[in-house]
Structure 1
């Protein structure tokens, strides 16, 4: 088996920053477009359209930044815990701008920061598993200190995210890692940091992504 090769810290930071910028550039650009319409148009219908665009895009940008803060950011000191209710809130905010319907079943409990970050990053991988929309069902089971995550992804052309099998274990040989491909790689880093095993399988036409605590694996 090919040995895992880790990205340099600076490269990983740059790729994660690129990922965040990629996610928010669209709603921020839409806000700018709306402001330009307000500057140039006197038509009341066009102004109303511009205000709606600005409001919707501002909400979307805010939701994506709040999600990124928990999924990629420090979110407290080392060893901190995060309320799963807060994770659900930012996940639902993120999914409001996605094609797939979303459901979340989890206890209201505190969980170690990196486990929550892993769960949120798996939500991002789940959205790429159903590129044409469908549904994503998230469930969290077990004790918060040794949880199991399951993300059931259903939709037209559902597929295991690209390079998942190589990048989650950290095998970078012959794999180009860009702002999109860094997602499964980072999820793998998080999983290993908290002793969880991540896998994705096809179940008929659906994709099932799981993360199991090592004790239960």
Structure 2
């Protein structure tokens, strides 16, 4: 799945230079990083039960952490995984549900989603969710993320607006999307790298802007 995508991308954008094995390894590392914390918390809750700790508190920790891990895995399956056969299409309603559940599990960010529901190319859905992650990372203390889809089946346009305290454009995303990569890609920067990779594969141009009130991230189909 990843190797054909990489070969296509490298022919279009010389800044996307990761080999197939490195891309796969870094994406796996990213997914493990996202899941290891809630899984570790489940283990802590079980240890509390074994030690005869407060049953109610331990069970609450286990339930919350299990939900968090499940939500993150379901999101990762759509955003990073195969999600069906090569060339498959995905319902944008699945992406909406995944994004809202992801934010709800953290209980600090509200997601407002608007636009027509449609069955579109898998990589466009993956791009949309990865752009959502970029926007989510731009408001570390939470806030509101507004996702807007326009004409998703044809000349698609995705617009994601993030509002919150201490917001700022993710520097790695800015570097990679503008072709000014200063350091080697690692597990911390692989997600924005993959976002740019998907945009190039989908024939969509990424954009970003910032004001004192909001950050805006866009993806538009490039006119041929």
User: Normalising by structure 1, what TM-score?
Assistant: 0.91
SS in 2 for 1:96: helix
What's the offset of the Cα at 1:169?
4.9
Q: 1:170 & 1:52 partners in 2: Cα distance?
A: 46
Q: What RMSD, in angstroms, separates the aligned Cα atoms of the two structures?
A: 1.7
Any conservation in 2 of the 1:101–1:134 contact (CA below 8 Å)?
yes
Q: 1:215 & 1:203 partners in 2: Cα distance?
A: 27
Matched residue, 1:145: 154
Ranges in structure 1 where 5+ consecutive residues have no aligned partner: none
Matched residue, 2:94: 86
Bigger helix fraction = 2
Matched residue, 1:63: 71
2:17 to 6, 28, 37: 6
Any conservation in 2 of the 1:34–1:54 contact (CA below 8 Å)?
yes
Any conservation in 2 of the 1:102–1:137 contact (CA below 8 Å)?
yes
Deviations 1:156-200 (A, max 9, x none): 12111122222125554x223221211111000100101001111
Any conservation in 1 of the 2:16–2:197 contact (CA below 8 Å)?
no
Where in structure 1 do 4 or more consecutive aligned residues deviate above 4 Å? none
Any conservation in 2 of the 1:3–1:171 contact (CA below 8 Å)?
no
Cα distance change of structure 1 residues 17 and 143 upon mapping to structure 2, 3 Å threshold: closer
Any conservation in 1 of the 2:155–2:221 contact (CA below 8 Å)?
yes
What's the offset of the Cα at 1:145?
2.5
Q: 1:30 & 1:169 partners in 2: Cα distance?
A: 38
Deviations 1:55-104 (A, max 9, x none): 11111101100000010001111211000111111111111133222111
